[in-house]
């Protein structure tokens, strides 16, 4: 290749790179969130077992049973709303997401970027697919019932009167010590086509200025200094609570509150203000009865 051709090729590559960079800026509006420390990075390494865990960095701070429940139910909640697990890798956008899964109210997921709010509201069906234990064979059913009661199988969880029995059982069936095996039994027993969940989608544009306003409101509500677990429950928002995720370009934090709004009234008010931007009045989407 002659020098002129090389120069032209180089110019083309530069223009392509600039176009890609400008497109990326367009996607994230050229805006990022300044986090108070570097402790909010994404996981350094992700294993296949982490893909369903809605806060992969969170798992080591939980005991094994809570970690499993959080992963299992969190995965199915997001899957029912066709939502991605945003906690594994940077998405290239600045995103705020609120997930609400009450026991006696309407579940929904709201996702806000710097130019759009998307709200998905439950209409009908089952958020969590039911289990059909008849799909398990006799041995699997026995193991399933044991793990439902005693997972993880440790000396701490096993009554002293059953220790000899479990010692013998594990020698013959070492898979009972495997989290992956327990997950496979749960997965096999699920009936996915039974009353699949349906939801409505609402979308609206917002300005970059409005987005920054909400980010500042979250900052003023001390979001970045709140503990990640507030009255933790194993499901995404078991009983009466919500999950709030804030994703910067290279960092993120998740706060799960299962006893709102008492734990952080100000944070709940900010979330409700975001919801009110888009929620139809007839859906009556009031977070934790905060109004």
Asked if the model's pLDDT at residue 37 lies above 60, the reply is yes
Tell me how far apart the alpha carbons of residues 109 and 97 are, in angstroms, rounded to a whole number: 7
Asked if the model's pLDDT at residue 231 lies above 70, the reply is no
Asked if the model's pLDDT at residue 232 lies above 80, the reply is no
Which DSSP letter does residue 247 get? E
CB 116 within 8 A of CB 207: no
Asked if the model's pLDDT at residue 162 lies above 60, the reply is yes
Q: DSSP string covering 128-177, please?
A: SPPB-GGGS-HHHHHHHHHHHHH-S--TTTS-GGGHHHHHHHHHH-GGGG
Where do the structural domains in the chain lie, given as residue ranges?
1-30, 48-130+192-289, 133-189
Q: What percent of the chain clears pLDDT 90, i.e. is strictly above it?
A: 36
pLDDT, tens digit (0-9, with 9 covering 90-100), for 70-94: 777 778 888 899 998 888 888 888 9
> DSSP 3-state assignment of 286?
coil
pLDDT, tens digit (0-9, with 9 covering 90-100), for 208-228: 999 999 999 999 998 888 877
Residues 6 or more apart whose Cβ sits within 8 Å of residue 173:
143
Task: Could you list the beta-strand ranges (E) of the chain.
Answer: 95-100, 108-112, 116-124, 198-205, 229-230, 242-247, 252-257
Question: Mean pLDDT over residues 260-276, rounded?
Answer: 84
Predicted local confidence at residue 50, as pLDDT:
61
Question: Mean pLDDT over residues 258-264, rounded?
Answer: 63
Tell me how far apart the alpha carbons of residues 138 and 268 are, in angstroms, rounded to a whole number: 47
pLDDT, tens digit (0-9, with 9 covering 90-100), for 173-192: 999 988 889 888 998 998 87
Q: Domain 48-130+192-289, what architecture?
A: 2-Layer Sandwich (3.30)
Residues 6 or more apart whose Cβ sits within 8 Å of residue 208:
29, 31, 114, 115
CA distances from residue 68 to 32, 76, 198, 234 in whole angstroms, order as listed: 33, 13, 26, 8
Q: Judge if the upstream peptide bond of residue 30 is cis by omega within 30 degrees of 0.
A: no
Question: Mean pLDDT over residues 250-259, rounded?
Answer: 78
> DSSP 3-state assignment of 290?
coil
Which DSSP letter does residue 190 get? B
């Amino acid at each position: 290749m002659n020098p002129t051709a090389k120069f032209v090729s180089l110019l083309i590559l530069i223009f392509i790179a600039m176009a890609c960079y400008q497109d990326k800026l367009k996607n994230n509006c050229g805006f990022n969130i300044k986090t108070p420390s570097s402790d909010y990075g994404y996981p350094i390494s992700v294993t296949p077992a982490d893909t369903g865990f809605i806060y992969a960095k969170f798992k080591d701070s939980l005991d094994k049973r809570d970690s499993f429940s959080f992963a299992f139910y969190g995965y199915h909640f997001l899957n029912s709303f066709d939502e991605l697990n945003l906690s594994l890798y940077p998405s290239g956008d600045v995103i705020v997401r609120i997930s609400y899964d009450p026991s006696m109210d309407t579940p929904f997921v709201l996702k806000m970027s710097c130019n759009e709010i998307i709200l998905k509201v439950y209409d009908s069906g089952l958020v969590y697919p039911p289990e059909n234990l008849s799909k398990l064979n006799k041995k699997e059913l026995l193991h399933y019932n044991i793990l439902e009661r005693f997972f993880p199988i440790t000396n701490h969880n096993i009554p002293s009167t059953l220790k000899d029995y479990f010692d013998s059982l594990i020698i013959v069936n070492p898979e009972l010590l495997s989290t992956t095996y327990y997950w496979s039994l749960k997965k096999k027993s699920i009936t996915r086509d039974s009353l699949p969940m349906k939801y409505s989608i609402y979308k609206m544009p917002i300005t970059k200025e409005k987005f920054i306003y909400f980010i500042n409101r979250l900052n003023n509500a001390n979001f970045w200094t709140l503990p990640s677990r507030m009255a933790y429950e194993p499901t995404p928002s078991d009983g009466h609570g919500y999950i709030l995720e804030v994703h910067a370009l290279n960092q993120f934090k998740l706060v799960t509150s299962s006893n709102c709004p008492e734990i952080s009234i100000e944070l709940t008010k900010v979330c409700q203000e975001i919801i009110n931007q888009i929620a139809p009045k007839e859906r009556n989407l009031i977070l934790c009865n905060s109004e």
